[in-house]
């Protein structure tokens, strides 16, 4: 007897796995990032404003998202269907620039393809099944790359929603990581880490 597997079954299974492991993998990546990072004052100065921009995108999007209650189509959601993920990508770019290590870029690309792309597709399948208007919305608004809509980004912003979604955790995490790589830079510069010149340059 032979068993047939539906071609879409494997991607669906991996999407479920990706949703479960993305948070622990994120913590593991943060540790690896700190170990690989070789920041300088200039790289941190370049990366930080980009991280702040990503945080702002996520904050504005989180404050207008009513999960499972209504399809978000206004504000930042009129520019991209996934402003939260766009904000995360912008933050990742900022942190990668601050770290000055090409391996971090490679790891970020792998994470995006293997974890976040399946999660985004899975979430959009859910939205498509729950909200009849999603198909027409998806036809006019891109998945990640923003398209100009002319709408205000903050007109419907709700501080209560921002707090409900605990988006402040992203801010806290970003501040702690910036402090950590700054301390690493100072430690290397002050010669507190043995053999730093050989290890990082």
Mean pLDDT of 132-154: 93
What does the pLDDT read at residue 13?
80
Within-domain flag for 46? yes
Within-domain flag for 92? yes
Specify the number of domains making up the chain. Answer: 1
Residue range 31-62, pLDDT digits in tens = 999 999 999 999 999 999 999 999 999 999 99
Q: How far apart are CA 134 and CA 124, in angstroms?
A: 9
Q: Is 155 left (phi over 0), alpha (psi -120 to 50) or beta?
A: alpha
pLDDT at 123 over 50: yes
**Dihedral over Cα of 96, 100, 104, 105: its sign:** positive
Within-domain flag for 16? no
Quickly tell me which residue has 């207008």 as its tokens.
Answer: 64
Within-domain flag for 42? yes
Reading the block at residue 87, the tokens are 């904000």
Q: How far apart are CA 183 and CA 52, in angstroms?
A: 19
Within-domain flag for 23? no
Q: How far apart are CA 65 and CA 161, in angstroms?
A: 7
pTM of the predicted structure, to 2 decimals? 0.85
Confidence of residue 188 (pLDDT cuts 50, 70, 90): confident
Cα 67 from chain centre: 18
Domain that holds residue 34: 30-148+162-192
Within-domain flag for 103? yes
Within-domain flag for 114? yes
Residue range 99-117, pLDDT digits in tens = 999 999 999 999 999 989 9
pLDDT at 194 over 60: no
Q: Is 193 left (phi over 0), alpha (psi -120 to 50) or beta?
A: beta
What does the pLDDT read at residue 9?
65
Within-domain flag for 10? no
**Dihedral over Cα of 115, 120, 122, 123: its sign:** positive
């Amino acid at each position: 007897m032979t068993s047939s597997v539906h071609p879409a079954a494997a991607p669906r299974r991996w999407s479920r796995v990706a949703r479960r492991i993305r948070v622990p993998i994120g913590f593991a990546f943060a540790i690896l990032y700190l170990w690989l990072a070789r920041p300088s004052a200039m790289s941190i100065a370049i990366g930080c404003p980009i991280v702040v921009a990503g945080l702002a995108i996520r904050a504005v999007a989180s404050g207008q998202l009513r999960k499972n209650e209504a399809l978000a189509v206004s504000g930042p959601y009129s520019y991209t269907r996934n402003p939260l993920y766009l904000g995360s990508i912008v933050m990742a770019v900022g942190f990668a620039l601050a770290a000055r290590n090409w391996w971090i870029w490679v790891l970020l690309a792998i994470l995006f393809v293997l974890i976040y792309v399946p999660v985004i597709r899975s979430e959009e399948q859910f939205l498509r099944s729950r909200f009849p208007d999603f198909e027409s919305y998806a036809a006019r608004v891109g998945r990640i790359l923003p398209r100009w809509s002319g709408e205000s980004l903050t007109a419907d912003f709700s501080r209560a929603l921002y707090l409900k979604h605990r988006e402040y955790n992203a801010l806290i995490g970003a501040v702690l990581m910036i402090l950590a790589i700054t301390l690493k830079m100072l430690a290397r510069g002050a010669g507190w880490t043995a053999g730093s010149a050989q290890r990082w340059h």
